[in-house]
Structure 1
């Protein structure tokens, strides 16, 4: 039994012949009845495929909605991370300013320590001079004490006073003794005062030095804490920036997924329209066949005269793979340059499914329809470049063929094509590294790629 669209073509020939001669054989009537049955099967298959496409459309819409939700969640996370980054940035600015302030305070403290060191050096000089002065006074006092001790203490002063030879001499000697005793007292008091000042200066400088050094240690500790805080904030900033980059990359990936869903929606919508047109065409042909069968039954006696009109020829193919079980002809004649299956993508540099077979053909090579069908996509489609997608129904089974990277498209959406009909020309458009034909076969509609070779004649 011939395939669906061939049945329709054959019937058209029979109908034309019957109209011109008015005579059709019983064999032709049987063939028409068989064709009606095949068209009914084809209608049932198309209805099922249409329903499957609608289910796919629903799935794609749900997937698209889920992905949009993920994008919204991603953008919410990005907003939160941006706020965290701004907060950390403000903390970093404050911490850097605090570090600069502490460094200035440490510098001022270092200067104060240096000034104290200079004061200590000056004080050391003063102390040394005072110690020399005290030392000389100690020597003088010792001499005085030694002299007093050797001469019997205060009695010597009395001898000086009472040894006066006149009243005037007495007064003079009394004054002299009083002066000497006052000087000794002053020397001793000055000596005690100098020693006290010396001890006080030493204690004051040492105390101030300790305070300043303690202050410096505290400032250094505060600076280290600030540096540690800055390091922690830098690490948090790096983490947030890494997370932000990941979220932006994830959002871009999700946007690509949305685009792929939108492309798939477009393809499914076009395929559904093609199925609807095929259904309408099948319904119309069924009506023609039923009318023809009715007329044939009334003209059975004239059937033998129209027997020769039953012969119809199959369209010729351009080339063959030598597969007797194939159902599609080669869309263009060329050697296979890349097979169906997993491979390292030459453009994206990742391992991914190569969903078709590539044929090495030059730009401008004529492209023919691999089988009868209805065009549901004709034009540019992302990495496919210029592409032609055709919906076929052969022996009750639905197929979709894809011919991509074309340089020219000679058909339009909704157009019915016949096997072997010129529909365009091969090329190097879209995601292509050189002139070739990328050919795909999808079983049961687009989205179910299979290895094309077993299906090619």
Structure 2
């Protein structure tokens, strides 16, 4: 039976030993009260230790929560950085689209320029052929001397000068176009390389930021698990604190019940003496528990399915109707509640022969007694059931030599004893 409780050893308290029936009632009461007060003091000390652990655990939770806040803020910052980088990437891609369009325009101009250069190449080649055919030079003198008048001569001189200048301009334009063509090619190549580099850097930055977010989310997830574990541990500590407080109060109630019983016995003794009767020795509980319910034993105390089974199971065995469960001995109800593992569970603190003992009744269908209620041996406290982690209707019954040991289900020490030492099945 697995219990969700932190490893906190409550420990087995020192037993009192058997009381001598011949001890006077007053001395017996004084000794009993002293021993019970010692029990209560031990519980109070353990309760103080648990309270200190609870304080430390809350501080640890606060520190983890502060770490989570820091990580969350870092994730927010990275998210903003990713969004900003994504915006820059989109802007850069838009620039690349514009550049691509510009490149297409330049390529079209380059085609036109290349066509012009090609035509000039043909014109210059034609000029060179003409020069070769004329013996390596153009006879401009023939053009000039062919003038019919002085005015015609002047006009021919101007025309020749224009042709010569035109040739020079063609060559000059040709050279400029060739240079521009090469310059455009270099410019386009550099522009593409620059923008591709920038885009690659932005893509790399975005990847780095996303990886950082992934790592931060891992840290956050780890912190959340730690916080959840801390809350579980804190819940277990608080549960133990509540149990210790209940045991402290149960001990006080047992002291009051003992004192009341001793007072009643003393008054009866005085009445007997006044009536001339020989006083009977005070009754002493012989420590025998009654069976808490009827039915067959279905599982014993000890290792079961690789785990320790700290009690015994008594089955319903196909019987119909409610099967009553009774208090195995008189005592004070320390706990009565519904738990995930035990289901409906009742714990009772007893004092048998001066020794504190605890009984546990789990998986009840219903509980008929509440916390701190005084119960007598054989009193019906509930009915056999199948609540909590149970595979069928039965009573799970435990006996502890001292207080209940919650730490045992987390690997801690246990003062559980085999109930078959006290009951018979």
Q: So what's the TM-score if we normalise by structure 1?
A: 0.75
In structure 1, the residue matched to 2:298 is: 336
Paired residue total: 396
In structure 1, the residue matched to 2:415 is: 450
In structure 2, the residue matched to 1:107 is: 97
Query: In structure 1, the residue corresponding to 2:148 is in which secondary structure?
Result: helix
Q: Is the 8 A contact 2:401 2:416 kept in 1?
A: no
- Structure-to-structure mapping, 1:9-408, within 5 angstroms: 31=21, 33=23, 39-144=29-134, 172=148, 182-294=158-270, 302-303=277-278, 327-332=288-293, 333-337=295-299, 339-340=301-302, 355-361=310-316, 364-381=322-339, 383-408=341-366
Q: Does 1 or 2 have the higher relative contact order (CA < 8 Å, sep 6+)?
A: 2
Name the one with the larger helix percent.
Answer: 1
Query: What CA distance in whole angstroms lies between the structure 1 residues aligned with 2:272 and 2:180?
Result: 135
In structure 2, the residue matched to 1:167 is: none
1:418 aligns with 2:380: no
Q: Deviations over 1:237-258 (max 9, x none)?
A: 1122222222223223322333
Query: What CA distance in whole angstroms lies between the structure 1 residues aligned with 2:309 and 2:179?
Result: 90
Query: What CA distance in whole angstroms lies between the structure 1 residues aligned with 2:164 and 2:89?
Result: 55
Q: 1:120 to 1:360 in 2, by over 3 A?
A: farther
In structure 2, the residue matched to 1:437 is: 395
Q: 1:62 to 1:193 in 2, by over 3 A?
A: same
Aligned-pair CA distance for 1:310: 9.5
Query: What CA distance in whole angstroms lies between the structure 1 residues aligned with 2:343 and 2:108?
Result: 85
Unaligned runs of 5+ in 2: 1-14, 407-413
Query: What CA distance in whole angstroms lies between the structure 2 residues aligned with 1:182 and 1:258?
Result: 110
Query: What CA distance in whole angstroms lies between the structure 2 residues aligned with 1:264 and 1:436?
Result: 26
Query: What CA distance in whole angstroms lies between the structure 1 residues aligned with 2:29 and 2:282?
Result: 18
Query: What CA distance in whole angstroms lies between the structure 2 residues aligned with 1:408 and 1:431?
Result: 15
Q: So what's the TM-score if we normalise by structure 2?
A: 0.80
Query: What CA distance in whole angstroms lies between the structure 2 residues aligned with 1:148 and 1:126?
Result: 25
Q: Is the 8 A contact 1:410 1:424 kept in 2?
A: yes
Query: What CA distance in whole angstroms lies between the structure 2 residues aligned with 1:268 and 1:312?
Result: 28
Unaligned runs of 5+ in 1: 8-29, 162-170, 315-325, 345-351
The alignment yields a C-alpha RMSD, in angstroms, of 3.6
Aligned-pair CA distance for 1:129: 1.1
Q: 1:359 to 1:191 in 2, by over 3 A?
A: farther
Query: What CA distance in whole angstroms lies between the structure 2 residues aligned with 1:439 and 1:95?
Result: 66
